[in-house]
Chain A
Amino acid sequence: MTQSGRTFFLRPRDMIGIVILAFLLIVVLPLTLDNFRLQFVGKYLTYAFVALGLVLCWGYAGILSLGQGVFFGLGGYCMAMFLKLEASSVANTKIQTTPGIPDFMDWNQITALPWFWEPFRSFPFTVLAVVLVPAIFAFIVGFALFKRRVGGVYFAIITQALAAIMTILIVGQQGYTGGINGITDLRTLNGWDIRTDSAKTVLYFVCVGLLIACILIAYFVKSSKLGRILVAMRDKEDRVRFSGYDVSNFKVFVFCLAASLSAIGGAMFTLQVGFMSPSFVGIVPSIEMVIYTAVGGRLSILGAIYGTLLVNWAKTSFSETFPELWLLGLGGLFIAVVLAFPNGIAGLWQTYVAPRLGPLFSDAVKRRDATPPATPPASGPVAPAAAE
C-alpha cells in the first residue's frame, strides 16, 4: 500500500466514499425531503465544514481548538456585511436618520459607515475576505502560541477564551456589529433574492459543491507528506523537530486551514439561513462542533460529515419533542463517544463493517494476517538499563 507510492491522492475506498456521500446529498436527500427539511440539511452541512477542519487540526495534528466558532463566525459575518450593505441601499433605508447605512447603525446613532465596512461593498473582496480574514486571524493566534510551544489543554483553553472574547466584542460593539441580534434582514446577493425557496435550493447545491471541494482539499492534505507529518507530530513531536522540521510552522498551517474551512461554512450559513449572530460564535457552538467531529470520528474526513448530519438531525428531532432534554442528551452522547467508541462512528465502521466488505474497504484484514516481527521481542534488559 505504502511502497506502491500511489500517484493519485485518493485511494479507491476514498473515491467510493466521496461518490456515495455526493449521491446522498445531491440525489437522495433532495428527492426524499421536502424543501423545509432540505434547508435544514443545508444548514447542518455548513457545520460540516467546521468538522472537516477539526479532523485535520484535532484528529490528525492533535491540536484541539475549542474556538472554531470564531472562524465560522468571521466567515459568516464577512458574508453578512456584504449582504447587509446591499440590503441597506438608500432607497431601502430612506426612513433612517442617515439613509444608506445598515439599520442597526442608525439605531446606535452612527452617522457614517465605519471604514472596515467599506470594502465589503465589493463581492470579490468579500469572497476573499471570507477565506483570508479567518486565516490571518488564525495565523496571528497560531504563530503567537505555537512558536512559544503552547499546546494541548492550554491551547484548547485559550481558543475557548477567544470564543468568549469574540462574543463579548460582537455584543458590546453593537453599533458596528449588530450586537446580540446579529446582522439580520439580509435580502439579495448581487440582486438575486436569497429568501425564496428556489434560491435556497440553489444555495443548498452550492453548499454541497463547496463541501465536496473542501473534502477533496482535506484528502489532498491528508495524503501528502504534510499529512503524515501531522500524524507524526501528534505522536512524537520531538522526533519530528529533531528530524529537521520547524514543528510550529506545520501547526500554524493546519490551524489556518481549519479556520478557512470553517469560515466557508460560516459564509454558506449566512447565505442559506439569512442572518448571522453571535450565538454561532461563542463557546457553546464551538464545543458542539467538536462533539459533531468526535461523534463522526475525528480521524475520518467523511465520518465527521456524517457525524455532523446525524447529531444535528437528532438535535432537531429531539428538541422538537423534548426541548429541555436535548442538551443533556448531547452531553451524554459526548461522554458515550469518548468512553465507548473514541473513534466515533467511523471507528465503528472500520472495526465492524468494513472488514466484512473485503480488502477494498479495509486494511484491517491485512493487518491481522500480517507476519509477526522477524526477530523475537526483547527477552528483557540484559544491560543495566538504568534511565538517567
Chain B
Amino acid sequence: MNVITDQMNKDFVLAVEGLTVSFDGFKAVNDLSFYVDENEIRVIIGPNGAGKTTVLDLICGRTKATNGSIRFKSQELTKMKEHEIVRAGVGRKFQNPSIYEDLTVFENLEISYPKGRSVFGALAFRRDAPVKERVQEIAETIFLADQLDQRAEYLSHGQKQWLEIGMLLIQDPELLMLDEPVAGMSVSERKKTAELLNTIIKDRSVIVIEHDMKFVEDIAHKVTVLHQGKILSEGSMAKVQADPKVVEVYLGH
C-alpha cells in the first residue's frame, strides 16, 4: 500500500478497496471500492442480487472477504472477529427485525448496552442508574418509552425495527449500517423512521440499503448503485437518477 492512499484513508471513516468475495467461483462482490466520510449518510441501491447485503456482511465480519481490504478508522476489519468489529464501533441492523422476542424492550436494550460484555462481566453486571437512564433516553428516541416492560414479541413490525435501531444506538457506534430499515412499514411508520434516522445520524456515519426511492431521496447524502457486485454509478441522488446505466438496470423497472 503506498503512502498516498494511506494518507487519504485517514479522512474517511470507512475505506473499502478492491473488495472481492466469491462463493464457489461466483463473485458476489467484485473488486469493489468506495469511501464513506465522517457524518455521511450513504445509501446503497441496486437490483436484487446486486450484492448489497453481502457488502454489509463483509464489513461487519459475517462473511470473510476473498480479497481486498476494509479499513475503519485505519483498522483492518477483514482480519477481525465479529464482536471485535462491533467493539471497534461498527453497528449493523439486519434486514428482518432481529430482536430478542422472549425478553422485554428494556432487557433488549440493556443487553446492547456496551458494558459487561465478557462472561464474568455479564455475571457481575448491575442495572445501575446510568444504565437505566441511558435505556430510558434511547427508548424515548425510538418512540418506545411506554413499552419498556412489554415483551418484544408483542411489538408491531415497525416497533421491532425501531427497537433494533435503538439496540444499535445504545452502543453509540461511529458507523451504523442499516439493511432496509423501512421495508414492510406503513406510511406513518416510514415517516417516523425517516425522522428517527435524521436525529440519530448526528456524530456518526450511516450506510443504508434501501429500495424505497422516496425514502432514499429524503435521507441520502450520496448514493452508490450496485449491479452484479460492482459499482454502476455513484454520486448525488440527482446524478444517479440521471445516469442512463442506472435507469436501464434498476430505476427503469
Contacts and interface: CB of A to CB of B under 8 A. Distances in A.
B53 interface: yes
A378 B117 contact: no
B60 A375 contact: no
A378 B189 contact: yes
A239 B157 CA distance: 17
Interface residues of A, number: 47
A238 B127 contact: no
B211 A383 contact: yes
A376 B186 contact: yes
Nearest to B214: A383
A239 B158 contact: no
A357 interface: no
Q: Chain A interface secondary structure, helix, strand, loop or mixed? A: loop
Interface string B16-55: 0000000000000000000000000000000011101100
A225 B157 contact: no
A1 B148 CA distance: 10
Interface residues of B, number: 71
Nearest to A240: B111
A253 B118 CA distance: 11
Given A3-B132, A388-B49, A375 B158 contact: yes
Interface in A221-255: 221, 224-226, 228-229, 231-232, 234-236, 238-247, 249-250, 253
A339 B61 CA distance: 39
Interface in B46-83: 48-50, 52-53, 60, 62, 81-83
A253 B123 CA distance: 11
Contacts of A321: none
Interface stretch (B4-12, B87-95, B235-243): B87-95
Contacts of A240: 111
B58 to A, nearest CB: 13
B114 A244 contact: yes
A382 B111 CA distance: 32
B146 A238 contact: no
Contacts of A249: 118-119
A374 interface: yes
B111 A225 contact: yes
A370 B154 contact: yes
Interface string B201-212: 000000001111
B212 A2 contact: no
Given A238-B62, A240-B111, A385 B183 contact: yes
B198 interface: no
Contacts of A246: 81, 83, 117-118
B122 A381 contact: no
A387 B187 CA distance: 19
B111 A243 contact: yes
Contacts of B122: 224-226, 229, 250
Interface string A344-385: 000000000000000000000001001101111111111111
A191 interface: no
B180 interface: yes
A140 B185 CA distance: 46
Interface in A197-240: 221, 224-226, 228-229, 231-232, 234-236, 238-240
Contact of A225 (B101, B114, B125, B186): B125
Given A225-B122, A384-B211, A239 B100 contact: yes
B102 interface: yes
Nearest to B93: A242
Interface string B154-173: 11111100001001000100
Given A244-B87, A244-B171, A388-B49, A236 B106 contact: no
A386 B48 contact: yes
Contacts of B112: 243
Interface of A: 1-3, 5, 221, 224-226, 228-229, 231-232, 234-236, 238-247, 249-250, 253, 367, 370-371, 373-388
Which 8 residue pairs across A and B have the least CB separation, nearest first?
A383-B212, A244-B86, A226-B122, A385-B183, A225-B125, A377-B156, A5-B127, A232-B100
Interface of B: 48-50, 52-53, 60, 62, 81-83, 86-87, 91-92, 94-95, 98-104, 106-108, 110-112, 114, 116-119, 122-125, 127, 132, 143, 146-151, 154-159, 164, 167, 171, 180, 182-190, 209-212, 215
